[in-house]
Copies of this chain bind each other. A is one copy, B any other.
Amino acid sequence: MTNLIKDFNDYRTRMNEVILSKNNLVMKRLWNLDTNTYEDGALNKKTKEMLGLVASMVLRCDDCIRYHLDKCFKQKTTTEEMYEIFAVANIVGGTIVIPHTRRAAEYWEELNK
C-alpha cells in the first residue's frame, strides 16, 4: 500500500476514533446510516458507490472522493468506467472540478498499482 493511501486511511481511522469517543449520538447514528446507504438494494453496491463518488466530485471534497474511489475499486470499477464518471462530474460541475479530478486520477493510479 503506497503512502498516499496509507496516510489517508490512518488519519481517517485516528480522527474517527476521537470523534466517536465523544459519544455524540447524532454523529454516531449518522455514520451508521451512511454505511447503510451504500448497501445492495434496488441498486447494487457498485452503482451506489459510483453515485457517492460523482456527488463527492461535484461538491469538490477530496477526502470524500478518495473514500469512494477506494470503494469503487473494491467493486471492480474499470478505469474506463471511472473516467466516464469523471466526465459526468466535470460536465455537470464545470472546470472547477478539474483540480479535484487531477487528485482523483492520482489516487486511482495508486489504487491500481
Question: Which A residues are closer than 8 A to B by beta carbons?
Answer: 11-12, 15-16, 18-19, 22, 24-27, 29-31, 33-34, 36-38, 41-43, 47-48, 50-52, 54-64, 78-81, 83-99, 101-103, 105-106, 109
Q: Which of A38, A51, A58, A85 has the most CB of B within 10 A?
A: A51
Q: Are B26 and A92 in contact, with the CB atoms below 8 A?
A: no
Q: How many copies does the complex hold?
A: 6
For the complex, give the distance between the alpha carbons of A103 and B14 in Å. Answer: 11
Q: Are B36 and A26 in contact, with the CB atoms below 8 A?
A: yes
When distances are taken between beta carbons in the complex, the residues of chain B under 8 Å from A27 are 83, 86-87, 90, 101
Given contacts A34-B95, A54-B55, 15 further A-B contacts (CB under 8 A): A15-B103, A18-B106, A19-B86, A26-B90, A27-B86, A27-B87, A29-B29, A37-B88, A55-B57, A55-B93, A55-B96, A58-B58, A59-B92, A63-B98, A64-B96
